[in-house]
């Protein structure tokens, strides 16, 4: 056939030669690509928009039809082979990378894990829970009462009338509220008002412990805070004696501190008990010898207690001929100080993490 388009052209061997060289070079270069970046460079160099093979393919349009058909087919087959080779190399590189990670980045499952930070309970909360736990295991129930209290419960029904000098024992923060010319509400100065609240709401037998915050209008020092915690205890039944009081408190100290700690009872005065006692423990610091922590006493007072005054019992409507009871009130911070050997009560509420993290 002698058409112009079908004419033999001098271009043909040239292009074939180019394809041949491209294939050789591509094979050699591909064998040398060791990572994804190099492989991508290879793809761009041969198959990219300005790649060597692409340029040949573009140049084909200048050829006569027959040449274009023959060479086009050859070039497209080469393109296919290069694309296949690219794909194969790509997955080979992936396998190699995975093998490397598995070899070098092997997970040592025996290494200790990374621990996230965990919070903790405040030392007063911990101590409070242990105190309540000790009494709960002896059959006491736990209840609570309000922090804003009536004068009537905080003082009057505990035999501390308005003009009584014993009120000086409790420096009171009064609520700014007046009725009939007096201020009847206050921040409770102790947990003892709960003795009244409990007895007003139930008949004997009574066995309760009442934890809570207390407030006093006073300057702070190493052993005094204006806010602190107490646990009140009350047991009322037939035939309760001071022996029951002492036995209960001995058992409590043993459970809280172990049996080596010594305790001491001495008579004391509280208007709502008769007789009244104070219980002290040997000082955690000097163990009884006398030091600065205990004011040279060798002992640290941790609670007040006594036999519930008969007038308190009749005040709530109990039959004081039939029932007797004991009561106690302990300072939780004091107990925590004894337990952990803390010398200044103010540490508890300074919120210094260096202190709190030790518990």
Q: Which is nearer to ligand DAH, 323 or 328 (CB)?
A: 328
User: Interface mask (CB under 6 A) for ligand DAH, residues 248-277, using x and -?
Assistant: ----------------------x--x--x-
The alpha carbons of the chain give a radius of gyration, in whole angstroms, of: 45
Tell me whether residue 20 is one of the annotated catalytic residues.
no
Tell me whether residue 15 is one of the annotated catalytic residues.
no
Interhelix angle 36-47/65-104, rounded to 10 degrees, is: 180
Tell me whether residue 55 is one of the annotated catalytic residues.
no
Interhelix angle 123-136/332-340, rounded to 10 degrees, is: 100
> Please, which of residues 220-249 interact with ligand DAH by CB under 6 A?
232
Tell me whether residue 190 is one of the annotated catalytic residues.
yes
User: Interface mask (CB under 6 A) for ligand DAH, residues 65-94, using x and -?
Assistant: ------------------------------
> Alpha-carbon distance 155 to 167, whole Å?
8
Tell me the closest approach of the beta carbon of residue 245 to ligand DAH, in angstroms. Answer: 9
Tell me the closest approach of the beta carbon of residue 189 to ligand DAH, in angstroms. Answer: 7
Closest CA to 248 of 154, 171, 330: 330
Q: Which is nearer to ligand DAH, 43 or 334 (CB)?
A: 334
> Alpha-carbon distance 162 to 305, whole Å?
22
Binding residue for ligand DAH, selected from 56, 271, 329, 336, defined by CB under 6 A: 329
Token pair 């010594």 is found at 262
Q: Which is nearer to ligand DAH, 91 or 267 (CB)?
A: 267
Give me the catalytic one of 52, 190, 229, 309.
190
> Alpha-carbon distance 347 to 350, whole Å?
5
> Please, which of residues 185-214 interact with ligand DAH by CB under 6 A?
190, 192
Give me the catalytic one of 150, 230, 308, 336.
230
Tell me whether residue 273 is one of the annotated catalytic residues.
yes
Q: Which segments within 64-156 are labelled E, that is strand? A: 141-142, 148-150
Segment lying near ligand DAH (by CB under 6 A), choices 11-19, 249-257, 280-288, 321-329? 321-329
> Alpha-carbon distance 212 to 190, whole Å?
9
Tell me whether residue 129 is one of the annotated catalytic residues.
no
Tell me the closest approach of the beta carbon of residue 120 to ligand DAH, in angstroms. Answer: 29
What are the b/e assignments for 82-113, b being 16+ CB within 10 Å? Answer: beebbeebeeebeeeeeeeeeeeeeeeeeeee
> Which residues, at least 6 apart from 232, have a Cβ–Cβ distance to it below 8 Å?
190, 191, 192, 194, 195, 209, 210, 211, 212, 327, 328, 329
Interhelix angle 242-257/332-340, rounded to 10 degrees, is: 40
> Please, which of residues 288-317 interact with ligand DAH by CB under 6 A?
304-306
Tell me the closest approach of the beta carbon of residue 133 to ligand DAH, in angstroms. Answer: 20
Give me the catalytic one of 86, 89, 207, 216.
216
> Alpha-carbon distance 250 to 138, whole Å?
12
Tell me the closest approach of the beta carbon of residue 330 to ligand DAH, in angstroms. Answer: 8
Q: Report yes or no: 148 and 187 within 8 Å, Cβ to Cβ.
A: yes
Q: Does 128 participate in binding ligand DAH (rule CB under 6 A)?
A: no
The residues binding ligand DAH (CB under 6 A) are: 190, 192, 232, 270, 273, 276, 304-306, 327-329
Give catalytic residue positions: 170, 190, 216, 230, 273, 327
């Amino acid at each position: 056939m002698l058409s112009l388009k079908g004419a033999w052209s001098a271009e043909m061997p040239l292009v074939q030669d180019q394809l041949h060289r491209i294939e050789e070079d591509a094979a050699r270069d591909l064998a040398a690509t060791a990572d994804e970046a190099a492989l991508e460079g290879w793809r761009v160099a041969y198959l990219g928009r300005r790649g060597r093979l692409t340029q040949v393919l573009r140049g084909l349009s200048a050829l006569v039809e027959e040449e274009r058909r023959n060479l086009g087919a050859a070039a497209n087959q080469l393109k296919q082979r290069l694309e296949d080779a690219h794909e194969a190399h790509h997955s080979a590189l992936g396998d190699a990378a995975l093998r490397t990670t598995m070899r070098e980045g092997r997970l040592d499952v025996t290494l200790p894990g990374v621990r996230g930070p965990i919070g903790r309970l405040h030392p007063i909360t911990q101590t409070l829970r242990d105190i309540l736990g000790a009494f709960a295991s002896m059959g006491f129930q736990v209840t609570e009462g309000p922090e804003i209290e009536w004068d009537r419960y905080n003082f009057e029904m505990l035999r501390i009338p308005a003009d009584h000098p014993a009120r000086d024992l409790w420096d009171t923060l009064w609520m700014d509220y007046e009725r009939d010319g007096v201020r009847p509400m206050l921040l409770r100065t102790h947990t003892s008002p709960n003795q009244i609240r409990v007895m007003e709401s139930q008949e004997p037998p009574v066995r309760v412990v009442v934890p809570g915050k207390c407030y006093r209008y006073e300057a702070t020092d190493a052993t005094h805070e204006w806010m602190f915690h107490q646990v009140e205890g009350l047991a009322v039944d037939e035939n309760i004696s001071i022996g029951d009081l002492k036995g209960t408190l001995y058992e409590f100290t043993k459970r809280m501190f172990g049996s080596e700690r010594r305790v001491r009872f001495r008579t004391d005065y509280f208007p709502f008990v008769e007789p009244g006692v104070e219980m002290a423990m040997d000082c955690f610091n000097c163990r009884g010898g006398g030091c600065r922590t205990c004011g040279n006493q060798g002992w640290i007072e941790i609670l007040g207690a006594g036999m519930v005054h008969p007038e308190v019992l009749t005040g709530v409507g109990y039959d004081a001929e039939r029932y007797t009871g004991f009561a106690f009130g302990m300072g939780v911070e004091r107990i925590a100080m004894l337990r952990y050997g803390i010398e200044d009560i103010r540490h508890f509420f300074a919120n210094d993490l260096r202190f709190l993290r030790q518990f």
